[in-house]
Amino acid sequence: MEIFRDFTFDAAHAIEGLPDGHKCKHMHGHTYRLTVYLTGGLDPTIGWILDFADLKKLVWTECLDVLDHKNLNEIAGMGSPTCENITLWIWGRLKPKLPGLTQITVREGANSGCTYSG
């Protein structure tokens, strides 16, 4: 069985190395949407894989407190703050804490994003 939870965070970034005139070369922001997927067995007493409140607290503590309303170009260890690198950075912080983590998706808006499953 697999569960998921959605989160949103707002952040700004600029992508270096792009040609003049490219809209992503200059500082701009997005409302990102993060979806975290977990698998696991059901707790026989309670009947869930993980308390959604515990998942929310962990994702905020490990990732979103660092990213929300921040300049992603200043986040240590992220590299160029592309959607792909943001996804890898989040995975790297969550996977050690969530062994059942199977996939994450980061969306920059309604029409584009990146999915990673390790």
Active site residue 108: yes
Active site residue 2: no
Set 16, 22, 24, 74: catalytic member = 24
Active site residue 69: yes
What's CA 101's distance to the chain center, in Å?
A: 12
Long-range contacts from 95-100, C-beta under 8 angstroms, 24+ separation: 97/58, 97/62, 98/36, 98/38, 98/55, 98/58, 100/38, 100/39, 100/40, 100/49, 100/50
Set 22, 28, 69, 74: catalytic member = 69
Q: Residue 33 pairs with which residues in a beta bridge?
A: 8, 107
Give the catalytic positions in this structure. Answer: 24, 69, 108
